[in-house]
Amino acid sequence: MAHHRVLSVAIVAVALLASPAAAVYPWTICGRSTYTAKSQYLANINRIGATLPRNASRSPDVFATALVGAVPQQVWALALCRGDANASYCLTCLDQAFQDLPNACPYSRDSTIYYDSCVLHYSNIRSRPDDDTTYNPTIPLRNNVNATAEPARFQRVVAALLNATVSYAVTNSTRLYASGEADFDQELPKVYAWAQCTPDLTPARCRDCLTVNIKTWEPVFTDAIGARILGMRCSYRYETTPFFNGPVMVRLAGTSASSGAPASAPAVVPNVLTPQAAAAGEGRKYSVPGMVLIVLLPSAAAINLVLCFLLWRRRPLAEANQSYGGYSAEAKDIESVDSMLIDISTLRAATGDFAEANKLGEGGFGAVYKGTLPDGEEIAVKRLSKSSTQGVEELKNELALVAKLKHKNLVRLVGVCLEQQERLLVYEFVPNRSLDKM
């Protein structure tokens, strides 16, 4: 119980929580669920690391997954290289990822690492491409420099270019990858973009993943001359300087951004990425001083793909607001956050995977389950129904209200989780307490 603190949530549009692990390149997301040294889980990670990079690099889609071991020591892993990477550099990038990730996220069962040209994820939970709750750990990065000439028109150009690039990726590329460029003005002559999904997604799911992310983060990225979303399942990026190899697949002529159709669409010809170029770190001008918690977004769809990331340590707000080489994660709106977020795997284990035998009751907004955390603390988990009328606004209000109120007749809010399309509020368990108090 000591390691869980009462959740205190500031009501802001986007709260980006400080985490040193995400502050430098390569970028990482580390879960709280852990394994022990010399465990079978670590042995299974090493077994996958011996074969997965080569399997992905030899694949026409520069992509592969692997599943090794038996529950509870089972490890599922995903490896993806950027669509313009060749086999040799893909192998180099993924080999490096398997060396770096266990050190960046020591003993973390659920871990993700992002480089400019590849992503590696492993977990004790398998993410299926046909699952509506597909996990997509995500990091947003924003350039601190804004477009000063006609910013509204710049945003229209960016939106049109991203839409056209996404359309090409899902209709003309087996790698579900596309690059694009658009004309703008003399100050910023060109805008460049790429978009990509894991090739095991259907084109429709790829489009949905990218479109939701683009719409979700558009208000945060407004006027920025460069931004990117790093996701396990889908990612995109735009810049005013070239940052990808190979030919441009989508070209938008003119600056009106009135049409989303590409002027031309040459065939996909992956080009060589050199390790030296990547080591120089064209993407290292990016950094993110925080993992992401969405407290309030314009629509409930945003929560489905923008996840509540798990925190290990915290820094003062002043440090979280620092920029790193011109890029930051926009933490300026945070007023106060003092939370302990709980991952979905912990809550599934605590409640017996939300077993019917552990259900305390059910109301209009969803069911409440009794559970026990690894330290023995008893909890009551409110699992909001996906069809519930309690959307983001109601969830935001409940978090704010319960976090602030202290009364002998009110149960304490222990934590919150918004992973895998779940909306879970975790309370202390008080026997014989009315569910209306939750």
Give the burial string for 174-213 (b: 16+ CB within 10 Å, else e). Answer: ebbbbbbbbbbeeebebbbbbbbbbbbbeeebbbbbbbbb
| Dist. CA 34–CA 107, nearest whole Å | 5
Dump pLDDT digits (tens) for 171-217: 988 899 999 999 988 778 899 999 999 999 999 999 999 999 999 89
Dump pLDDT digits (tens) for 348-384: 999 999 999 999 887 656 789 999 988 888 999 988 7
- pLDDT at res. 432: 61
Pick out the residues of the known binding site for ATP: 382
- pLDDT at res. 235: 97
Per-residue pLDDT for the chain (438 aa), expressed as one digit of tens each?
333 322 222 222 222 332 333 346 899 999 999 999 999 999 999 999 999 999 999 999 999 999 999 999 999 999 999 999 999 999 999 999 999 999 999 999 999 999 999 999 999 999 888 765 556 788 999 998 998 878 898 999 999 999 999 999 999 888 999 999 999 887 788 999 999 999 999 999 999 999 999 998 998 899 899 999 999 999 999 999 999 988 999 999 864 434 343 333 333 333 333 232 333 333 323 333 333 322 223 333 333 333 333 232 333 322 333 333 334 333 332 222 234 578 788 899 999 999 999 998 876 567 899 999 888 889 999 887 655 444 444 455 445 544 444 444 456 777 888 776 677 888 888 776 555 445
Q: Could you tell me whether strands 227-231 and 290-293 are parallel, antiparallel, or unpaired per DSSP bridges?
A: unpaired
Name the burial class of residue 150, with classes exposed (0-12), middle (13-18) and buried (19+) by CB atoms within 10 angstroms of its CB: middle
| Dist. CA 133–CA 383, nearest whole Å | 14
Choose among 205, 195, 64, 230: nearest CA to 131: 205
Pick out the residues of the known binding site: 382
Q: In degrees, to the nearest 5, what angle opens at C-alpha 421 toward C-alphas 171 and 347?
A: 140
- pLDDT at res. 119: 97
- pLDDT at res. 86: 92
| Dist. CA 173–CA 192, nearest whole Å | 18
DSSP-derived 3-state class of residue 179? strand
Choose among 370, 384, 375: nearest CA to 432: 370
| Dist. CA 73–CA 195, nearest whole Å | 34
| Dist. CA 169–CA 245, nearest whole Å | 16
- pLDDT at res. 132: 58
Choose among 251, 151, 162, 138: nearest CA to 215: 162
Which position has the token pair 């978009």?
Answer: 195
| Dist. CA 193–CA 195, nearest whole Å | 7
| DSSP label of 268 | P
List domains and CATH numbers for the chain.
25-123 (3.30.430.20), 138-275 (3.30.430.20), 344-437 (3.30.200.20)
